[in-house]
Structures are given as structure tokens and as C-alpha cells.
Amino acid sequence: MSEHAGERPIEAGIRTDLRDTMSYGGYLDLDRLLSAQHPVSVPEHHDELLFIIQHQTTELWFKLVLHELRAVRANLDADDPARARKGLARVKHIFRTLAEQWSVLATLTPSEYAEFRGSLGSSSGFQSHQYRAVEFILGNKNAGMLTVFDADPAARAVLAELLDSPTVYDAFLRHLARQGHAVPDEVLHRDVRQAWTMHEHLVPVVRRIYDDTETHWADYATCEDLVDIEDAFQFWRFRHLRTVQRTIGFTTGTGGSSGASFLRRALDLTFFPELYEVRTGIGASATPPRR
């Protein structure tokens, strides 16, 4: 059989009759996925599809982040830090992917966005319940946020469950206590509905781990994994801020927030303050090297 120049023939073993069998498109439910983009601008603006897909893919990644962080928490509850660390590593890479994704949206110029921004109404990323869920499970809880989702009972239920549940950090600290570390009772029995705040008495516990990494290697490595998560999350927040500034300057957000100023304040939030505080004194008392 003759072949056209440059044409690669289909291998004999590849299945081409996909009737009555599981196909790629069927497994991924692509008919529904690829028909879920509904631009609302009239006439439809070319760049609105980019805007929709950017945010839809972010929500898909958030779904996986929540899936992984729930498993991380369960593995720490089961004193299985190795499996927990695998999940933390995956979440870190997801947030690195999400941060890089902002570079695609940054190709949307202010003039282009202005042509369809008015069509978005009051919709805003502020209303993403999955983003709030990620914040909740990492420690930045806010019971007042539930009212934003009163019109969406399913989303509100997700947040209410996470509000009442220990965070990933709570699970880690309880794991440390079971390994013999002197985690203060006030930390172990704190009100998990409250946002995490700095616990000064926890810093010496963390310092003990960092001062003897050989003895406490698994705990030390997990501390660093948590720092990786926070760094990756904060870098995603920063890229979000810069993209917003690049696109709308300091204009008020579509959901009523102050826009860039609101996002900048979020950079001051921290999930694991003790893991950063402990770095201040590391090496301060070490003997300087001989010359």
C-alpha cells in the first residue's frame, strides 16, 4: 500500500472502531466539559473564552487540591507522614502550575478586557467556594464567609464542614504530639473553627525539630513541605495580584472588593507562622567556622 510523503500510518494494533466501548472522550466526559463555556458578551467578544477557560481550569485544579489535602490530613491522622508528604508535594506542584497559568491571562490587555467586563455582572473570584475551602483546610478560616454562599447550599455545606474540622496543620501538630513532641495543650485543644494565629509556645517545639534534624528527620521534612505549600500558594496570590493590576489597575473588583488592594492584603496572611518564626534564630548560636 502506498503512503503519502510524511504521512504516518496508523499502527495495525490501534483500535479504531470505538462503538460500544469506553473511549477517551467518553471517559473524560468531553462532550459536557467542552460545552461548558458560555460567553455572555453581546456580540460575543473573542477574548471572553480565554477568561472563562482560565477560571474553569483553576476550579478543576482547586478540586484536586482539596482532594489531596483531605487525604494529607487523613494520613497525618493515621501517623503516615510518608503518604502525607506525597500529597503535599503534589499540591505544591499544582500551585506552581496555577501560578504560571496567570501568564496566559496576562495576555489579555486592559482594552480587550474592558470590552466584555461589563457582561460579568457581579460575578467574581471572591465567590469561589473551592478557593475558600482550600483556605479553610489550610487554616485561614472565617465563619462570616459562609453567608456569601447562602444561595448555594451545596457550597455552603462544604465550607461549614471544613469550618468545623481540624486543618492540615492541626493534624500535623497532633501527629507531632503522638511522636512525643511537647505540643502545648492549648494548641491540641484549640477551637478549630477559628483562624490559625501565632502560638509562641509552639515555636520551641518546632525549634527542637530544626535543631536536631537527624533525629527528627521525618518531622523536619514535613515542616519544610508545609513551607513549600505556603510559598507556592503565596506566589500564586502574588501572580494574581500582578495580573489584576496589569489588567484593571486599581479599579474596584466586579464583586465589589477594592480589587488589587484587597488582593495585596491577602499576602500578609500566613498559614504556618511558627514554621517561619523558627527560622529567625537558626544558626544564631552556632560556632563560626575556623579560618
Does the global pTM surpass 0.75? yes
Cβ atoms 37, 49 nearer than 8 A: yes
- Which residues sit in the known binding site? 51-55, 113, 117, 240, 254
Contact 199, 173 (CB under 8 A): no
Binding site residue list for heme = 240
The fold adopted by the segment(s) 44-280 is Methane Monooxygenase Hydroxylase; Chain G, domain 1 (1.20.58)
Q: Which residue has the cell 521525618?
A: 218
What does each of the 291 residues of the chain score in pLDDT, given as a tens digit?
Answer: 455 677 888 888 778 778 888 999 999 999 999 999 999 999 999 999 999 999 999 999 999 999 999 999 999 999 999 999 999 999 999 999 999 999 999 999 999 999 999 999 888 888 899 999 999 999 999 999 999 999 999 999 999 999 999 999 999 999 999 999 999 999 999 999 999 999 999 999 999 999 999 999 999 999 999 999 999 999 999 988 888 888 877 566 555 555 667 666 766 778 999 999 999 878 665 444 455
Annotate 183-194 with DSSP letters as a single string: --HHHHT--TTS
Which cell numbers hold the place of 45?
Answer: 467578544
**Which residues are documented as binding site for substrate?**
51-55, 113, 117, 254
Sequence spans of domains, the chain: 44-280
Listed residue (55, 62, 60) closest to 37, CA to CA? 55
What separation in angstroms does the CA of 263 have from each of 105, 143, 235, 257? 17, 19, 12, 9
Whether cis (ω within 30° of 0) applies to the bond prior to 289 is no
Contact, 247 vs 110, CB < 8 A? yes
Helix (H) or strand (E) holding 176: helix 168-178
Phi first, then psi: give them for residue 258, nearest 5 degrees: -80, 5
